[in-house]
Amino acid sequence: QEQLVESGGGLVQAGTSLRLSCAASRSIISAYAMGWYRQAPGKQRELVAVASRGGSTSYVDSVKGRFTISRDNAKNTMYLQMNSLKPEDTAVYYCNTSPPKDTWGRGTQVTVSS
């Protein structure tokens, strides 16, 4: 059993869109603020978007206006809609609580070509 399972990544061209999904246990997604994180090659993992239990959202400056985080507690799923993708968005994307728990999922690879 995996606590967090990310999906939806792929190889896309710049300017296109992807929607990432995160399947989480009900006990997690219904009780905590959730975040999307990414780790680019040679870089540390960074928090890019957060959705609180109440629906408020926040984003790192580099993705504001392009990414939208959302959560569907009834489906135990969180999403990251990624529009106008740029090569610098290339990374492995992870979901977790915010602040994160110690255990991470496998992540999903997003590769944006120019």
Do the Cβ atoms of 8 and 77 come closer than 8 Å?
Answer: no
Rounded CA-CA distance 42/31 in Å is 33
Rounded CA-CA distance 54/104 in Å is 24
Phi, psi values for residue 29, rounded to 5°: -70, -25
Q: How far, CA to CA in Å, does 106 sit from each of 3, 56, 59, 60, 64?
A: 11, 26, 22, 22, 25
Indicate the average pLDDT of the chain: 95
Examine the pLDDT at 11 and tell me if it is beyond 90: yes
Which percentage of the chain shows pLDDT scores above 90?
85
In 21-112, where does DSSP find H-type helix?
26-29
Query: For the segment 12-43, what is each residue's pLDDT rounded down to a tens digit?
Result: 999 999 999 999 988 888 889 999 999 999 99
Per-residue confidence (pLDDT) for residue 29, from 0 to 100: 85
* More confident call, 82 vs 72: 82
